[in-house]
């Protein structure tokens, strides 16, 4: 059994687990659970990967408690799987080797807001919506928006980004420092609150995107933005995905500081029309948002309009009032659920790749053709200003042949992106689902990653079975 393999590797007997479970139960009482339903919820994969529950779930309330739990697990060689909101998409919270699901959702305090420095410090379980509601009255917002109301610790751990990244960057760019509990229970604060530093190795960025495999992130200090004076949103139909992509490319190249520029392909528009009872023309659309002063937003909108017209873009629907903007964007935000309506009873598998923007039109067009050839139902949405797009195949999880067809499709999509100097995942992370592509993308880099992992987590207890492929 794989679980005992891990425990054997750490030189500890399988009764280590029993010791950990007993001590956690005695220590955490009501904040400890072995119930199957709770364990299953904590292995939520939102994808085809099988649900692999941990042996128990424990709810931590502070960094010190996380350190206590990790130290205990380290003593007995028991895996630790950090859990935020369970909205990750590649099996990040599964427990293929058993162990303890470490739930951080009760660590939801906003520790400090420094409006004068445009930063704040929050515990890992604070969600992005909770933070944004808290700081709105101070004229501030946190721009990273992956769609789901994810925890900010989880977003750091998976290097999340989303619709606003084209303007504001990803979690990589918006975390000033973080606190993490390392595999031996050490509490690490990665950096000061200075906006920049050249003082030593970038431990902040090492932990961002490490998916709990190097340490458990318990607190993050984030860059905030002032809410712009003006925001304008708009949608624009295009004859083909190439036209929509080419308009995007030229927009970025022209230096228009667009805040969001999102693609929905014709199939996704059809799904959205059905879901929300709309009547958008069933061709590819771009959804846009501009932030700035009133004058700057008008200037940006006009500059984009000229580009769109060159690529056959239709009339715009522009909106500046918050309620009108929300209505426009609702269609984009609903796309995940709208897509599910394309196939009653079908499960939705979200996958993503990212390519240099010059290759975007080609990559999307080839993918659309591949979907058709594969006989899949798979709409496309994308944060196309970054060259990042998602394909969302709808599958019958009871049909092994179809699942295999989707797996092969994702394999081709990933190889296509890598061949175009892109990456196997722009923002979802590796988890379990993308491990097999890591060698292809990183070559010798995988060996370096293994060396770092072995040095910082010699027992292999931190979220094992994620990121690094099996040897």
What is the C-alpha separation between 434 and 325, in angstroms, rounded? 35
Using the minimum distance from each CB to a copy of itself, give the nearer residue, 326 or 358: 358
Nearer to a copy of itself, 205 or 325 (CB): 205
Of residues 20-59, those binding a copy of itself (CB under 8 A): none
Kindly identify the residues of this chain, within the stretch 176-195, that bind a copy of itself according to CB under 8 A.
182, 186-195
**At CB < 8 A and 24+ separation, what contacts does 142-150 make?**
142/174, 142/222, 142/224, 142/225, 143/167, 143/168, 143/174, 143/225, 144/168, 144/170, 144/171, 144/174, 146/87, 146/427, 147/333, 147/336, 148/85, 148/87, 149/85, 149/87, 150/84, 150/85, 150/87, 150/88
Which region, judged by CB under 8 A, interacts with a copy of itself, from 272-280, 325-333, 355-363, 396-404? 355-363
Judged by CB under 8 A, the residue of 295, 306, 372, 397 near a copy of itself is 295
The residue (of 260 and 434) whose beta carbon lies closer to a copy of itself is 434
Q: Please tell me whether residue 284 adopts helix, strand or coil conformation.
A: coil
Q: Which is nearer to a copy of itself, 326 or 451 (CB)?
A: 451
Geometric angle at alpha carbon 361, from 415 and 262, rounded to 5°: 105
Backbone region of residue 311 per phi and psi (left: phi > 0; alpha: psi in -120 to 50; beta: other values):
alpha
Q: In sequence order, which residues have a C-beta less than 8 Å from that of residue 404 and are 6 or more positions away? A: none
Nearer to a copy of itself, 47 or 388 (CB): 388
Q: Is 411 in the site for a copy of itself (CB under 8 A)?
A: no
**Contact between 196 and a copy of itself per CB under 8 A:** yes
The nearer residue to a copy of itself, 315 or 421, going by C-beta atoms, is: 421
Burial tier of 165 (Cβ tally within 10 Å: 0-12, 13-18, 19+): buried
Helix or strand holding residue 400 (H, E):
helix 400-419
Name residues contacting a copy of itself, limited to 80-119 (CB under 8 A).
Answer: 114-119
Q: Which is nearer to a copy of itself, 296 or 374 (CB)?
A: 296
Closest by CA to 100, choosing from 81, 124, 120, 72, is 81
**Interface pattern 414-433 for a copy of itself (x via CB under 8 A):** ---xx--xxxxxxxxxx---
**Binding flags for a copy of itself, 215-234, as an x/- string (CB under 8 A):** ----------xx-x------
Per-residue interface string for the shown chain with a copy of itself, residues 379-398, x marking contact by CB under 8 A:
-------xxx----------
Q: Select 11 or 200, whichever has its Cβ closest to a copy of itself.
A: 200
Q: Which of 38, 110, 365, 449 binds a copy of itself (CB under 8 A)?
A: 449
DSSP β-bridge partners for residue 354: 388, 423
Report the residue number, 4 or 253, with the smaller CB distance to a copy of itself: 253
Indicate whether 401 belongs to the interface with a copy of itself (CB under 8 A). no
Among 12, 110, 403, 446, binds a copy of itself (CB under 8 A): 446
d(CA 29, CA 58): 9
Q: How far, in Å, CA of 466 to CA of 212, rounded?
A: 9
Please report whether residue 160 would count as binding a copy of itself according to CB under 8 A.
yes
Among residues 45, 210, 272, 283, which is the contact residue for a copy of itself, using CB under 8 A?
210
Report in angstroms how near the CB of residue 243 gets to a copy of itself at its nearest: 16
Decide if residue 350 touches a copy of itself (CB under 8 A).
Answer: no
**N-term to C-term CA, the chain:** 17
Q: Does 281 bind a copy of itself (CB under 8 A)?
A: no
Strands (E), 42-145: 56-59, 80-83, 100-103, 110-114, 119-123, 140-141
By the rule CB under 8 A, 448 interacts with a copy of itself: yes
> Does residue 402 belong to the site contacting a copy of itself (CB under 8 A)?
no
Measured in degrees and rounded to the nearest 5, phi and psi for residue 280 equal -65, 145
Q: Nearest approach, Cβ of 116 to a copy of itself (angstroms)?
A: 4
> Which residue do the tokens 């100097």 mark?
421
Q: Encoding tokens for residue 301?
A: 């909108």
Q: Tell me whether residue 25 or residue 173 sits nearer to a copy of itself (CB atom).
A: 173
The SS3 of residue 103 is: strand
User: Which lies closer to a copy of itself via its Cβ, residue 216 or residue 267?
Assistant: 216
Of 66-74, 317-325, 348-356, 400-408, the window that binds a copy of itself (rule: CB under 8 A) is: 348-356
138 lies in the site for a copy of itself, by CB under 8 A = no
CB of 426 to a copy of itself, least distance (A): 5
Phi then psi for 308, rounded to 5 degrees?
A: -60, -45
Compute the distance between CA of residue 53 and CA of residue 38 in angstroms, rounded to an integer: 9
Dist CA 139 CA 128 (whole Å): 16
Residue 298 CB, shortest distance to a copy of itself, in Å, is 9
Q: How many CB atoms lie within 10 A of CB 333?
A: 15
Count of residues that bind a copy of itself according to CB under 8 A: 91
């Amino acid at each position: 059994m794989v679980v005992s393999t891990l425990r054997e590797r750490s030189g500890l007997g399988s009764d280590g687990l029993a010791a950990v479970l007993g001590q956690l139960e005695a220590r955490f009482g009501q904040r400890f659970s072995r119930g199957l339903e709770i364990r299953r919820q904590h292995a939520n994969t939102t994808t085809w990967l099988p649900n692999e529950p941990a042996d128990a779930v424990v709810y931590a309330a502070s960094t010190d408690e996380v350190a206590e739990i990790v130290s205990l697990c380290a003593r007995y060689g028991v895996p630790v799987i950090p859990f935020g909101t369970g909205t990750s998409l590649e099996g990040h919270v599964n427990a293929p080797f058993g162990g303890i699901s470490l739930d951080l959702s009760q660590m939801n305090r906003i520790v400090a807001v420094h409006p004068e420095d445009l930063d704040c410090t929050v515990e890992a379980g604070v969600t992005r919506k909770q933070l944004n509601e808290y700081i709105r009255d101070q004229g501030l917002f946190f721009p990273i928006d992956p769609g789901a109301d994810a925890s900010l610790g989880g977003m750091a751990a998976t290097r999340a980004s989303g619709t606003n990244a084209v303007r504001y960057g990803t979690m990589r760019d918006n975390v000033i420092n973080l606190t993490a509990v390392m595999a031996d229970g050490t509490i690490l604060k990665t950096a000061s609150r200075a906006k920049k530093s050249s003082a030593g190795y970038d431990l902040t960025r090492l932990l961002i995107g490490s998916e709990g495999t190097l340490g458990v992130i318990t607190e993050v200090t984030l860059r905030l933005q002032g809410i712009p004076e003006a925001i304008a949103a708009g949608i624009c139909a295009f004859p083909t995905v190439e036209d929509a992509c080419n308009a995007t490319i030229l927009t970025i190249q022209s230096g228009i500081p667009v805040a969001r520029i999102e693609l929905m392909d014709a199939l996704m528009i059809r799904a959205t029309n059905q879901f929300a009872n709309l009547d958008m023309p069933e061709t590819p659309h771009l959804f846009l948002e501009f932030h700035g002063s009133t004058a700057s937003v008008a200037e940006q909108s006009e500059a984009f309009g000229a580009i769109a017209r060159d690529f056959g873009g239709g009339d715009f629907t522009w909106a500046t009032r918050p309620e009108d903007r929300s209505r426009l964007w609702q269609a984009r935000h609903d796309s995940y659920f709208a897509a599910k309506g394309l196939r009653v009873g079908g499960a939705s598998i979200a996958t993503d790749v990212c390519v240099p923007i010059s290759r975007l039109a080609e990559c999307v067009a080839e993918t659309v053709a591949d979907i058709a050839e594969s006989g899949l139902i798979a709409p496309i949405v994308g944060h196309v200003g970054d060259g990042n797009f998602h394909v969302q195949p709808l599958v019958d999880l009871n049909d092994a042949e179809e699942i295999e067809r989707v797996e092969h499709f994702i394999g081709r999509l990933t190889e296509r992106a890598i061949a175009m100097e892109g990456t196997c995942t722009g923002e979802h992370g590796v988890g379990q689902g993308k491990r097999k592509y890591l060698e292809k993308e990183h070559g010798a880099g995988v060996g370096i990653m293994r060396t770092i992992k072995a040095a910082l987590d010699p027992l292999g207890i931190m979220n094992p079975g994620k990121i690094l492929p099996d040897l």
